[in-house]
Each structure stands twice: as C-alpha cells, then as structure tokens.
Amino acid sequence: MITYYSSRINNLGEQFLNAKLKGAVSYDRIAGYFCSSILEVVGETIEAIAGKVRVVCNSSLAPSDVAVAKLGQRVEWNEFKPEEVYATPCAMARLRKLYELLKSGKLEVRVLPDEVYGLMHGKAGVIIYPGGGKTSFLGSINETKSAFTTNYEIPWEDGDPASIVWVQAEFDFFWNNSYAVVSSWDCGRIRNISSLALSMSISCAAARDCCSPIRLAWARRYSWPCPRS
C-alpha cells in the first residue's frame, strides 16, 4: 500500500519522519543531500532508535561552507576560528547531538564522489521495526532541515515487500560500494566546536545555511563543493 505525503498538506517532520522512525530498530537512507541540520527536526527520535542509522549521500556542500573549507586547506581547523561560524544557538544542540551519535556509532555516513555515478541525487529509505516489520519510502526529500520544514516536498511511503526489497538493494549497492568514502568523522573536532558553542550566544540568522563542520573537514580533504541545509 502506498501512502502519499505532501508538504503542502502535511508537516513532514512530524507526520512523516518522526512518526515513521518512532519505535524503529534501524534506518537506512539514501539521502541525496545530507546535513546535520536534520538533527534539529528528528534528533531525539534518531537517538531512540535501537540500532543503527546508516546514510549514503552525495559530496556537495553549501557555498558558504566551501569558503570555510578552502580556508581550512591553508590553516589548521582551530586557527580559522570555527566558533565564529558554528557557535550559534541553532547549532549548539545539533552539534552536541551529532557528536554523541557519531561517537556511539549509532550514526554512520558514507559519501559517493560525483565522479563515479554522477551526483548522488536519489532519495529513498528503509525503516525496520521490532519483529521484522518494514516500510520504505522515496520521493524528492533530502535529509536536511529545510527539506522537512521549508521546501515543497512529496515523499511516498510504500510498505509492499517487493518495494522494500528494491529500495534496500539500492541502498546496499551504494553502502557497500568500493567507491563509497567511509567517514571517520573526527569526533574530537566536533567536541571542540560544541564546547565553544556552549560558551557563546550568537544570532541564528547566520546559521541557516550551516552544515556540519565535519563535512567541511571532508571538503577540505577532497575539495568538494556544497548544498543548502
């Protein structure tokens, strides 16, 4: 059975993502674009998932992040004052949550370089529940805050076993792909940014397009470009 969702009608963050992840034991996601801003929408629900959350995404970053990443290619992370970019009230909670999820191993992310399959632009997911119940979805929606709170998006949920198998196979192909970059996600840097953020109070206005500082570390290493959160 297919259930249709539209941001024109539904609050996708609450009526779709949070509702479907509640009580889940695992979540596999082909994200297209991924940003830590999603944790402002569904962070607590992800923390409550019994097993792992695995995300495959593309390598794009927001233009504002690219400038910081390019600077980071020339100097050490701490030297270009990341607290001036990320220490905002909006970023504080999500950075702390990101650190905890990565440190615990609950969240794992792998990135596909654009040079291999072109831009990783597909969006789909499989959610598994206790007892083996499953559902799948696909549609236009990235794994970002703006996708679930601002943009016009139309995901479809499909609980048909054949559809679930198909989406899982797509995910597994990219997750286990030899070209997928396995993220080490430097938790020490996240912890440093988080502690700096906790000691400051700055307007949220500059944080709207802000992605995870860890993705900047990737951009610094591989010179990747970036999306809006």
The predicted-structure confidence for 4-15, as pLDDT tens digits, reads as follows 999 999 999 999
Reported pTM: 0.73
19's CB contacts (< 8 A; 6+ apart) are none
pLDDT at 73 over 80: no
Please give the average per-residue pLDDT across 36-40, as a whole number.
87
Please give the average per-residue pLDDT across 132-142, as a whole number.
97
pLDDT at 107 over 50: yes
Residue of 62 and 166 predicted with greater confidence: 166
Please give the average per-residue pLDDT across 202-228, as a whole number.
44
Give the rounded percent of residues in the chain with a pLDDT score beyond 70. 63
pLDDT at 84 over 70: no
Please give the average per-residue pLDDT across 51-80, as a whole number.
55
Sign, Cα dihedral of 177, 100, 23, 13: negative
Q: Grade residue 91 by pLDDT with cuts at 50, 70 and 90.
A: low
What structural domains does the chain harbor?
Answer: 2-71+107-185 (3.30.870.10)
Mean pLDDT is highest, among 69-78, 148-157, 178-187, for 148-157
Q: Where are the alpha helices (DSSP H) in the chain?
A: 19-21, 39-48, 63-72, 83-86, 89-104, 114-117, 145-149, 161-175, 187-198, 213-222
What is the overall mean pLDDT for the chain? Answer: 76
DSSP string covering 143-179? BSHHHHHTS----EEE--HHHHHHHHHHHHHHHT-TT
Sign, Cα dihedral of 143, 51, 111, 136: negative
Q: Grade residue 85 by pLDDT with cuts at 50, 70 and 90.
A: low
pLDDT at 69 over 50: no
